[in-house]
């Protein structure tokens, strides 16, 4: 499917392409140390290793901005589109289950749910064994909006694939699919089971 987006969206795709290319370069093996003790943080910034977290967050922001720009005509943002798509595919879900499925914290999920609820695209209710837990489901209006947005989303996918290349995207997806497992190995907050938690921090004297 050829890329037929407006010039602004095409520029956004180019920026996203450049950013993720830089991200892939940063994944190459390096002999530089990636963990510094607290006593070594007075080294000049030019000597510090590049931050993997920052590189991925920057890439994600560029890609999100591109998809948001393409989806703008539908009145949905990328995260809201994902919420509707997940609810439509899996059916009603609790807030906690939906947040976990989308890898979002409850605060971020709440910010995206409120406009959807205000526009009548989703509805929430209390049910199940735990009456304190809210369940979310998509409405008929939400399904209609989702179907309209899906066409724009498909255009964004095609344009992004054209700009970045399907083989490289497949390789990137394979790398990204392994990140949740790496995160679980690190442990929440870099706990005692993680390399960060086991690192001995030496106070400055």
Domain containing 116 — which CATH number? 1.10.10.10
* Inside any domain, residue 77: yes
* Inside any domain, residue 39: no
In degrees rounded to 5, what are phi and psi of residue 119? -85, 5
Q: Which long-range contacts (CB under 8 A, 24 or more apart) does 169-177 make?
A: 171/24, 172/20, 172/24, 175/27
- pLDDT at position 27 is 44
The alpha carbon of 5 is separated from its chain's Cα centroid by a whole number of angstroms, namely 22
| Below-50 pLDDT ranges, the chain | 23-39, 41, 190-205
User: Which residues are paired to 136 by β-bridges?
Assistant: 93, 124
Work out how many domains the chain is built from and give that number.
1
DSSP assignment letter at 102:
T
CA distance 117 to 193: 40
* Inside any domain, residue 129: yes
* Inside any domain, residue 197: no
Residues in CB range of 13: below 8 A, 6 or more apart: 3, 5, 66, 159, 160, 162, 163, 164
With pLDDT > 90 as the criterion, what percentage of the chain qualifies?
Answer: 41
- pLDDT at position 132 is 65
pTM, two decimal places: 0.68
List, for residues 95-124, the tens digit of each pLDDT value: 989 999 998 888 889 888 999 999 999 999
* Inside any domain, residue 134: yes
- pLDDT at position 77 is 94
- pLDDT at position 194 is 46
* Inside any domain, residue 198: no
In degrees rounded to 5, what are phi and psi of residue 44? -55, 145
* Inside any domain, residue 116: yes
The domain in which residue 85 lies consists of 7-28+50-186
Structure tokens at 169: 């995207």
* Inside any domain, residue 44: no
Rg (CA), the chain: 21
> Is 3 within 8 Å of 162 (Cβ atoms)?
yes
């Amino acid at each position: 499917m050829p890329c037929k987006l407006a010039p602004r969206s095409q520029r956004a795709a180019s920026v996203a392409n450049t950013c993720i290319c830089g991200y892939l370069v940063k994944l190459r093996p390096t002999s530089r140390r990636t963990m510094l003790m607290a006593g070594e943080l007075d080294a000049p910034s030019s000597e510090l290793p590049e931050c993997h977290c920052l590189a991925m967050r920057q890439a994600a922001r560029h890609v999100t901005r591109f998809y948001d720009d393409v989806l703008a005509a539908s009145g949905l943002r990328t995260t809201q589109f994902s919420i509707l798509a997940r609810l439509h595919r899996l059916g009603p879900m609790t807030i906690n289950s939906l947040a976990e499925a989308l890898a979002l914290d409850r605060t971020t999920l709440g910010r995206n749910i409120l406009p959807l609820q205000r526009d009548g695209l989703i509805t929430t209710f209390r049910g199940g064994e735990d009456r304190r837990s809210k369940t979310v489901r998509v409405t008929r209006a939400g399904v209609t909006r989702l179907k309209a947005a899906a066409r724009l989303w498909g255009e964004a996918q095609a344009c992004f694939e054209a700009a970045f290349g399907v083989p490289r995207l497949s390789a990137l997806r394979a790398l990204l699919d392994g990140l949740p497992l790496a995160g679980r190995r690190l442990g929440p907050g870099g706990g005692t089971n993680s390399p960060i938690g086991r690192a001995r921090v030496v106070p400055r004297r």
